[in-house]
C-alpha cells in the first residue's frame, strides 16, 4: 500500500538522448511511478514517443510504468502498450466513446486501468465509469505540453472524487498532472492528490519533494 502522496515524474521533460540516466534520477528521488506521456499529434498537437520506446526503457527500472495515453482511438493501442510493460494504462475520456470496453480490455490483461479528464470535463461526466477504474488522472493543464501553468479550479475535482469514492467504496487512486512546481506543490498536496505528476520542474530541479530537491539524484 502506498503512503500518499507519492511522486510520478514525467519522462516528457527528460533528456531523450539519455533516458536511462534520467530514469535513474527518478529512482533516486524516491518516486513511486515513472509517468510516461504518449502523444499522437492528433488528440494533442505534439508527438512524443510510442511503444518501442516504452519497451526499450522497461529494462531500466522496476518502478511501475504509469502510461498516460493522450491519443485518439486508444482502443487500437492497448495491446501493444500492455506488451511494452505498462503497469497502469490511462486513456482520455474525451478521446473515446466505448470506455467500459477499453477498461475491460486493460484489466483483463492483469494491469490497472485509468481514466483521465481535461480541465473542461467535469467529474460528473465520468461517474458511470468510476466503479471500474483503478486510477483517475485529473489534468490541471490542457494536455499536450510540459511547463504550463496549473489551473487551480481543477483541484476541486479531487475532493469530489474522494467523496464519491468514499460513499460508494470505489477503489481508484487520484492523480494530478500538469503545472506542479515548487510554488503549486503545497496546494496540490492540500487538495488531497495521491499521485503527483511532475515533469518540467522535476527535471529542472525546481521541486522540493520531502525536503529533497529532485535533481541529479542527489540532495542539493
Ligand atoms: C501534459 C502531460 C504532463 C506533463 C506535465 O500534457 O500529460 O504529464 O509532462 O508536465 P509539467 O509538470 O511540466 O506541467
Ligand atoms: Zn501526463
Q: Could you report the per-residue pLDDT of 166-175, keeping only the tens digit for each?
A: 999 999 999 9
Neighbours of ion ligand 2 (CB under 5 A): 37, 68, 177
Q: Give the mean model confidence (pLDDT) for residues 138-154.
A: 98
Question: Is the Cβ atom of 67 under 6 angstroms away from ligand 1?
Answer: no
Active site residues: 37, 177
Q: Which atom of ligand 1 is nearest to the CA of 44?
A: 6
Ligand 1 and 74: CB distance under 6 A: no
Among 15, 146, 181, which residue has the most ligand 1 atoms within 8 Å of its CB, making it the best to mutate?
A: 146
Calpha distance 95→86 (Å, rounded): 19
Confidence of residue 215 (pLDDT cuts 50, 70, 90): low
Ligand closest to Cα of 141 equals 1
For Cα atoms 164, 169, 170, give the angle at the middle one, nearest 5 degrees: 70
For residues 131 and 120, is the Cβ–Cβ distance under 8 A?
no
Query: Is the C-beta atom of 180 inside 6 A of ligand 1?
Result: yes
Q: Helix or strand or coil: residue 56?
A: helix
Q: Supply the residue whose CA is at minimum distance from atom 1 of ligand 1.
A: 143
Question: Is the distance from CB of 19 to CB of 208 less than 8 angstroms?
Answer: no
Distance, in Å, from the CA atom of 38 to the CA atom of 47, rounded to the nearest integer, reads 8
Is residue 185 a contact partner of residue 9, using CB atoms and an 8 Å limit?
no
Class of domain 6-219: alpha beta
Residues 6+ positions from 217 with CB-CB distance below 8 Å: 24, 25, 27, 28, 29
Give the start-to-end residue ranges of the domains of the chain.
Answer: 6-219
Summarised one tens digit per residue, pLDDT across range 76-121 is: 999 999 999 999 999 999 999 999 999 999 999 999 999 999 999 9
pTM for this model (two decimals): 0.96
Cβ of 9 less than 6 Å from ligand 1: no
Q: Please report which residue ranges of 69-119 form alpha helices under DSSP H.
A: 78-83, 99-108
What is the C-alpha to C-alpha distance for residues 58 and 38, in angstroms, rounded to an integer?
15
Query: Looking at the CA of 149, which ligand is closest?
Result: 1
Amino acid at each position: 500500500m502506498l503512503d500518499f502522496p507519492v511522486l510520478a515524474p514525467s519522462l516528457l521533460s527528460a533528456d531523450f538522448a539519455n533516458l536511462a540516466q534520467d530514469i535513474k534520477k527518478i529512482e533516486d528521488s524516491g518516486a513511486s511511478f515513472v509517468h510516461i506521456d504518449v502523444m499522437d499529434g492528433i488528440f494533442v498537437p505534439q508527438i512524443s514517443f510510442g511503444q518501442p520506446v516504452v519497451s526499450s526503457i522497461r529494462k531500466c527500472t522496476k518502478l511501475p510504468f504509469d502510461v498516460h495515453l493522450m491519443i485518439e482511438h486508444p482502443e487500437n493501442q492497448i495491446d501493444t502498450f500492455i506488451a511494452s510493460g505498462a503497469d497502469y494504462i490511462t486513456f482520455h475520456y474525451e478521446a473515446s466513446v466505448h470506455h467500459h470496453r477499453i477498461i475491460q480490455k486493460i484489466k483483463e490483461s492483469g494491469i490497472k486501468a485509468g481514466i483521465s479528464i481535461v480541465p473542461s470535463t467535469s467529474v460528473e461526466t465520468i461517474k458511470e465509469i468510476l466503479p471500474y477504474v483503478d486510477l483517475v488522472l485529473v489534468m490541471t493543464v490542457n494536455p499536450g505540453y510540459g511547463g504550463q501553468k496549473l489551473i487551480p479550479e481543477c483541484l476541486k475535482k479531487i475532493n469530489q472524487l474522494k467523496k464519491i469514492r468514499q460513499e460508494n467504496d470505489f477503489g481508484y487512486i487520484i492523480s494530478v498532472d500538469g503545472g506542479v512546481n515548487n510554488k503549486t506543490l503545497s496546494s496540490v498536496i492540500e487538495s488531497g492528490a495521491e499521485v503527483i505528476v511532475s515533469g518540467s520542474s522535476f527535471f529542472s530541479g525546481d521541486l522540493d519533494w520531502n525536503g529533497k530537491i529532485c535533481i541529479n539524484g542527489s540532495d542539493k
